[in-house]
Amino acid sequence: MIRAGIVGGTGYTGVELLRILALHPDVEVAVVTSRTDAGQRVDSLYPGLRGYIDVVFSLPELEPLAQCDVVFFATPNGTAMLMAGQLLEREVKVIDLSADFRLKDAEEWSHWYGIQHACPDLIADAIYGLPEVNREAIRRADLVACPGCYPTAVQLGFLPLLENGLLDVKCLIADVKSGVSGAGRKAEIATLMSETGESFKAYAVSGHRHLPEIIQGLELFAGTSVGLTFVPHLTPMIRGIHATLYGQTKASLEDVQALYEQRYATEPFVDVLPQCSHPDTRNVRGSNMCQISVHQPQGGQTVVVLSVIDNLVKGAAGQAIQAMNLMFGLQEDIGLKIVAFYP
Tell me the CATH number at 57: 3.40.50.720
Q: Are residues 98 and 8 in the same domain?
A: yes
- Count of the separate structural domains present in the chain: 2
Q: Are residues 95 and 240 in the same domain?
A: no
In a domain, residue 316? The reply is no
Quick one: angle between helices 12-21 and 318-327, nearest 10?
50
Residue ranges of E strands in the chain: 2-7, 27-33, 57-58, 70-73, 93-96, 127-128, 143-145, 172-178, 201-202, 228-234, 241-248, 270-272, 290-295, 302-309
What is the structure's pLDDT at 188? 75
In a domain, residue 337? The reply is no
In a domain, residue 173? The reply is yes
In a domain, residue 141? The reply is no
What is the structure's pLDDT at 197? 83
In a domain, residue 103? The reply is yes
In a domain, residue 7? The reply is yes
Q: Are residues 167 and 303 in the same domain?
A: yes
Q: Are residues 158 and 246 in the same domain?
A: yes
Of the candidates 304, 212, 208, 321, the one whose C-alpha atom is nearest the C-alpha of residue 268 is 321
Q: Are residues 96 and 169 in the same domain?
A: no
In a domain, residue 342? The reply is no
Q: Are residues 120 and 157 in the same domain?
A: no
Q: Are residues 160 and 290 in the same domain?
A: yes
Q: Are residues 102 and 196 in the same domain?
A: no
Residues 6 or more apart whose CB falls under 8 angstroms from that of 52 comprise: 22, 23, 43
Query: Range of 120's domain?
Result: 2-125
> Which residues are designated catalytic?
149
Q: Are residues 80 and 162 in the same domain?
A: no
Domain of 274, CATH number, reads 3.30.360.10
Q: Are residues 255 and 301 in the same domain?
A: yes
Q: Are residues 95 and 204 in the same domain?
A: no
Q: Are residues 120 and 153 in the same domain?
A: no
How do the pLDDT tens digits run along the chain, 343 residues long?
Answer: 999 999 999 999 999 999 999 999 999 999 999 999 999 999 999 999 999 999 999 999 999 999 999 999 999 999 999 999 999 999 999 999 999 999 999 999 999 999 999 999 999 999 999 999 999 999 999 999 999 999 999 999 999 999 999 999 999 999 999 998 887 777 677 777 788 888 899 999 999 999 999 999 999 999 999 999 999 999 999 999 999 999 999 999 999 999 999 999 999 999 999 998 999 999 999 999 999 999 999 988 999 999 999 999 999 999 999 999 999 999 999 999 999 988 8
